[in-house]
């Protein structure tokens, strides 16, 4: 283990400790309460994130029922990531998020999805530093909570523009910036540019968190070594392997979390149970299918599992299809019923 990396330790955001400096990425349909509690089961997340929430929609959500807002006390600290194009959209949502216990407010400046850009939010805001500054400074004036921003590298590799943009965010009161190390038009096939995240780190005084294609401790170590950033945000790698945060916490930040050999059917069953606790059937079925697309990558022929569960018409059908796949993939797995008996 590289002791120089371990020594970085916790981040402090307006007195809020983030230890270790590991964050789950906001992912649509995946960064919900059940997923966060599955991460919590293994440990290692220093600050949880909601999925990206449309600010204009948030004031109409019922905090006790909404799949988007719902949380438990254990999911702490929790950052609510908000998507907005104007202060008029953003400020009521900040009030709602604070009212349901948000410990951090994060503003999205990085989403490249065309519908989001058409409404003027996400990465579209990075094309207008003036509009972005108005939005962020309005948010800063509206809350004393830690206020953070998530950005991409921009439209092109323009060092001067990116430098001015992140310095603007810092000047408007950002407490932390997360940088996804790709340009707006670049997909996952392009490796993240950790050297450019390092440039952002060198320009600002506030903490910088790096994001992009962290699937292992070695990936995380390389990212920290190249960029010098203060922490990591992990998305797809942690959905696929929910115990990854505990491995990163141990391997990069000197924690001593127990990391047992994962029992994949057991993890899937636990996640399904958390979905049942959190959502109505149609809501949980959609989320189970989304999770299965990633989790199935743990198996040599996992695409068969993803396709079969993806084609299920009901919750019971999906669970039966998953059970049949696990039986074929793991000779020690005897079905959900045998798990219940052994646990009892």
Contacts 24+ apart (CB under 8 A), 316-323: 318/285, 318/288, 318/289, 319/272, 322/268, 322/272, 322/292
d(CA 23, CA 178): 10
Distance CA 231, CA 308 (A): 37
The two structure tokens encoding residue 338: 């045998």
- φ, ψ of residue 92 to 5 degrees: the values are -65, -35
| 172 labelled catalytic | no
Q: How far from the centroid of its chain's Cα atoms is residue 215's Cα?
A: 14
- 171 vs 185: CA distance, rounded Å: 27
Instruction: Report the candidate in 329, 326, 47 with the shortest Cα–Cα distance to residue 339.
Output: 326
SS3 13: strand
Those residues whose C-beta lies under 8 Å from the C-beta of residue 181, and which sit 6 or more positions away, are 153, 192, 193, 194, 196, 197, 210, 211, 212, 227
What 8-state DSSP symbol labels residue 134? H
Whole-number Å distance between alpha carbons of 232 and 179: 10
Kindly name the residue from 47, 111, 172, 229 that is annotated as catalytic: 111
Residues 134 and 329: their CA atoms lie apart, in Å, by: 54
Q: What's the CA gap between 128 and 130, in Å, rounded?
A: 5
Determine which helix (DSSP H) or strand (DSSP E) holds 252, and give its type and residue range: helix 244-253
CA dihedral sign, ordered 90, 95, 101, 103: positive
Give catalytic residues, as residue numbers.
111
């Amino acid at each position: 283990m590289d002791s120089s990396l371990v020594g970085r330790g916790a981040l402090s955001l307006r007195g809020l400790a983030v230890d270790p400096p590991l964050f789950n990425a906001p992912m649509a349909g995946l960064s919900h309460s059940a997923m966060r509690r599955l991460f919590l089961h293994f440990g290692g997340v220093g600050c949880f994130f909601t999925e990206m929430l449309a600010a204009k929609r948030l004031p109409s959500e019922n905090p006790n029922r909404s799949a988007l807002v719902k949380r438990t006390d254990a999911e702490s600290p929790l950052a609510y990531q908000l998507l907005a194009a104007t202060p008029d959209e953003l400020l009521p949502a900040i009030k709602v998020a604070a009212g349901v216990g948000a410990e951090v407010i994060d503003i999205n400046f990085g989403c490249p999805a065309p519908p989001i850009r058409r409404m003027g939010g996400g990465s579209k805001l990075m094309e207008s530093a003036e509009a972005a500054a108005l939005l962020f400074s309005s948010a800063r004036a509206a809350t004393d909570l830690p206020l953070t921003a998530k950005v991409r590298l921009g439209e092109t590799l323009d060092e001067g523009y990116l430098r001015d943009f992140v310095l603007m965010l810092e000047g408007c009161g950002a407490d932390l910036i997360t940088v996804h190390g790709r340009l707006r038009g670049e997909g996952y096939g392009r490796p993240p540019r950790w050297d450019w995240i390092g440039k952002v780190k060198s320009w600002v005084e506030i903490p910088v968190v790096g994001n992009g294609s962290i699937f292992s401790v070695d990936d995380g170590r390389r990212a920290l070594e190249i960029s010098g950033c203060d922490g990591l945000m992990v998305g797809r790698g942690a959905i696929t392997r929910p115990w990854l945060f505990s491995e990163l916490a141990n391997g990069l930040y000197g924690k001593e979390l127990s990391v047992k050999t994962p029992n994949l059917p057991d993890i899937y069953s636990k996640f399904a149970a958390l979905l049942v606790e959190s959502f109505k059937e149609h809501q949980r079925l959609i989320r189970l299918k989304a999770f299965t697309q990633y989790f199935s990558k743990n198996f040599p022929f996992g695409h068969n599992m993803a396709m079969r569960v993806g084609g299920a018409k009901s919750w019971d059908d999906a669970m039966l299809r998953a059970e049949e796949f696990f039986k074929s993939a793991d000779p020690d797995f005897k079905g959900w019923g045998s798990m219940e008996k052994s646990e009892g």
